[in-house]
Amino acid sequence: MDCLFCKIVAGEIPARKLYEDDQVLAFHDIAPQAPLHILVIPKKHISTLLDLSAADTALAGHILFTAQRLAKDQGCAEGFRVVMNCNELGGQTVYHIHMHLMAKRQMTWPPG
C-alpha cells in the first residue's frame, strides 16, 4: 500500500519516534506547527476518521490516551491541543489517521 505513515510504521521511512507499542506509534511532525508537535497514529491502516468502525473504539481511545501520556511526559500538563483532521475539507493531507498533539505555545480559537 502506498501510504506514508504505513511506511513509517514499517521503518521504510525514518521518523523521530517517541513512543511505540503493538497498536500505536508516536513521532515528531516533520513540519511542526508548535514547539512540540507530535503525531500519534495507529499501526493499522485506517484512511480517515470516517473509516473507524465500532471494533476500533478501543484503538481510538488508546490513541487519545497515548497523546495524554505524552503530553504529561513532555511537561505539557499546563495545556495542549489535540486535533484530528478528516478529509480535504477538514484539512487532512495524509490519509492514515493521526492525532496531532501540539503544545508549548499559546493556542488560539478558532484555529482557522
Listed in sequence order, the residues at least 6 apart from 112 whose beta carbon sits closer than 8 Å to its beta carbon are none
CA–CA gap between residue 94 and residue 73 (Å, rounded): 26
Picked from Zn ion, ligand 5GP, none, the partner binding residue 107 (CB below 5 to 8 A depending on kind) is: none
Catalytic machinery residues: 98
Secondary structure letter of residue 42 according to DSSP: E
Interaction between residue 91 and ligand 5GP (CB under 6 A)? yes
Picked from ligand 5GP, Zn ion, none, the partner binding residue 3 (CB below 5 to 8 A depending on kind) is: Zn ion
Q: Which is nearer to ligand 5GP, 17 or 77 (CB)?
A: 17
Candidate list 63, 70, 81, 96; residue touching Zn ion; CB under 5 A: 96
DSSP assignment string, 83-105: E---TGGGT--SSS--EEEEESS
Picked from ligand 5GP, Zn ion, none, the partner binding residue 6 (CB below 5 to 8 A depending on kind) is: Zn ion
Candidate list 27, 34, 63, 99; residue touching ligand 5GP; CB under 6 A: 27
Look-up: residue for cell 506509534? 25
The alpha carbon dihedral of 73, 28, 100, 50 has a sign of negative
Question: Which positions lie near ligand 5GP, rule CB under 6 A?
Answer: 4, 13, 15, 27, 29-31, 39, 85, 91-94
